[in-house]
C-alpha cells in the first residue's frame, strides 16, 4: 500500500484520539484490526510539554502491548480548532495546548512514516466509512451527538475537507433564527439544541431535577425519561427533532447515501431516534433526500482510534491536501 508516495513497510499504524477528557492511543493493523489500546486522562498536566510526554508514553505503551517496535505512520484525531493540514492545534477544551505543533512532534517521535492530524469528529466519520455503518457507501455523513455535536463528510468516496479542513461542523448549522447564542459566535446552532449539556439545561429550566445525590447529566436525564418524566422525554424529543431537521437539510445539499449517528445520546434509543426520524420525515421532500439511510454508528468504542489510523492505513482515501484557498 502506498501513502502520499511513501511505501508502507510495516503492517500496522498508530492511531491517536485526543479529546478534552481523555486521550487514547492504539496500534491498528492495515485491515482495521485494533491490536492494542491505551487510555489516559487529558487533564492534570502542568503544561504543554507534560501533556505531550504523557501522550508519547501512551503511544509507546500501545506499541509495546501490540508487540511492534515501529509503525508505518501515525494518524491522530484531535479536538479543534487546528491549522490543517499542518496539524498545529489549539483545542478549545485543552488549555495547555495553544498553537501546539502536534503533527511535527508526532513525526519527531515516530519518524518512520507520515504523521497526519485531523479533527476528531472527522476521524469518527472516517471510522464509520472505513469499518462501520457507512462502509461501502460513496456519500456519507458521520456525526457524533454527545457533549457537543460534530461530524465529518465522505463524498465521492473521499474525505471532504473544505478549504481549511473544517468541513463537517454540523453542530453549527442553524436550527432557528432566534435560537440561543452559541460559543462559536453564531446563534441558533444545532449544538445548542441537541448536545447533552444543553438538553439537561433545557430540562432543568422546565422543572426537571435529578434524584438526590445524582448528577444533573445526560445519564440521569435519560433515566428520568425512561421512567416516564414528561420534561425529560420532551428534552430528548427536542434534540432528536433538531438533528432530524438538519439531516434533511444535509441530504438535500449533498445527496447522501448514509448518515451514521454515534455519541452518548444514541444510548437514548427511540427516545431520540423516533422524533429524529419523524422530524426528518417532515422536512425531507425529494425522493433523493428521503432515500438516505439513517443508521446508528457501528464502528464501536475505538472509533476515534480507528478513524485516526485510517488517515494513514487507507492510503490517500481519507487524506488529501487540495487547498482551495
Positions in the binding site for Zn ion (CB under 5 A): 172, 182, 184, 186, 189
Strand partners, 140: 154, 258
Could you say which DSSP state residue 206 is in? T
* Nearest-5° Cα angle at 134, 128 to 138: 120
Backbone angles phi, psi at 147, to 5 degrees: -60, -35
Give the total residue count for the chain. 325
To Zn ion, the closest distance from the beta carbon of 182 in angstroms equals: 3
Between 37 and 189, name the residue whose CB sits nearer to Zn ion. 189
Cα gap 84→318, rounded to integer Å:
14
CA dist., res. 85 & res. 117, Å (int) = 7
Residue (183 or 296) nearer to Zn ion, CB: 183
Instruction: Give the integer Cα–Cα distance in Å for 38 and 16.
Output: 10
Q: How far apart are CA 321 and CA 325, in angstroms?
A: 11
Per the rule left: phi > 0, alpha: psi between -120 and 50, beta: everything else, 31 is alpha
Nearest approach in angstroms of CB 93 to Zn ion is 15
For the CB of residue 183, give the shortest distance to Zn ion in the complex, in Å. Answer: 7
> Of 150 and 262, which CB lies nearer to Zn ion in the complex structure?
150
CB of 192 to Zn ion, least distance (A): 7
Q: How far is the CB of 92 from Zn ion (least distance, A)?
A: 12
Amino acid at each position: 500500500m502506498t501513502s502520499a508516495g511513501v511505501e508502507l513497510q510495516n503492517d500496522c499504524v498508530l492511531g491517536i484520539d485526543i479529546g478534552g477528557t481523555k486521550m487514547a492511543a492504539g496500534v491498528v493493523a492495515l485491515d482495521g484490526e485494533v491490536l492494542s489500546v491505551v487510555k489516559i486522562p487529558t487533564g492534570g498536566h502542568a503544561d504543554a510539554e507534560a501533556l505531550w510526554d504523557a501522550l508519547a508514553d501512551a503511544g509507546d505503551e500501545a506499541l509495546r502491548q501490540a508487540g511492534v517496535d515501529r509503525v508505518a505512520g501515525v494518524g491522530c484525531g484531535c479536538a479543534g480548532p487546528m491549522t490543517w493540514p499542518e496539524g498545529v492545534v489549539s483545542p478549545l477544551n485543552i488549555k495547555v495546548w495553544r498553537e501546539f505543533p502536534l503533527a511535527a512532534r508526532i513525526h519527531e517521535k515516530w519518524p518512520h512514516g507520515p504523521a497526519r492530524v485531523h479533527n476528531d469528529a472527522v476521524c469518527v466519520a472516517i471510522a464509520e466509512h472505513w469499518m462501520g455503518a457507512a462502509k461501502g457507501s460513496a456519500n456519507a455523513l458521520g456525526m457524533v451527538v454527545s457533549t457537543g455535536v460534530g461530524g465529518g463528510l465522505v463524498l465521492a468516496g473521499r474525505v471532504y475537507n473544505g478549504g481549511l479542513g473544517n468541513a463537517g461542523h454540523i453542530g453549527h448549522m442553524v436550527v432557528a433564527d432566534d435560537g440561543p447564542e452559541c460559543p462559536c459566535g453564531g446563534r441558533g446552532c444545532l449544538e445548542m439544541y441537541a448536545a447533552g449539556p444543553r438538553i439537561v439545561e433545557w430540562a432543568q429550566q422546565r422543572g426537571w431535577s435529578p434524584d438526590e445525590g445524582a448528577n444533573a447529566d445526560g445519564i440521569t436525564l435519560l433515566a428520568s425519561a425512561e421512567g416516564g418524566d414528561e420534561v425529560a422525554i420532551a428534552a430528548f424529543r427536542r434534540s432528536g427533532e433538531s438533528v432530524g431537521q438538519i439531516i434533511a437539510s444535509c441530504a438535500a445539499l449533498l445527496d447522501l447515501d448514509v448518515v451514521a449517528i454515534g455519541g452518548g445520546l444514541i444510548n437514548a434509543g427511540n427516545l431520540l431516534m423516533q422524533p429524529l426520524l419523524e422530524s426528518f420525515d417532515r422536512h425531507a421532500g425529494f425522493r433523493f433526500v428521503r432515500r438516505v439511510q439513517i443508521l446508528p454508528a457501528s464502528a464501536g468504542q475505538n472509533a476515534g482510534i480507528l478513524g485516526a489510523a485510517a488517515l494513514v492505513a487507507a492510503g490517500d482515501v481519507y487524506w488529501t491536501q487540495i487547498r482551495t484557498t
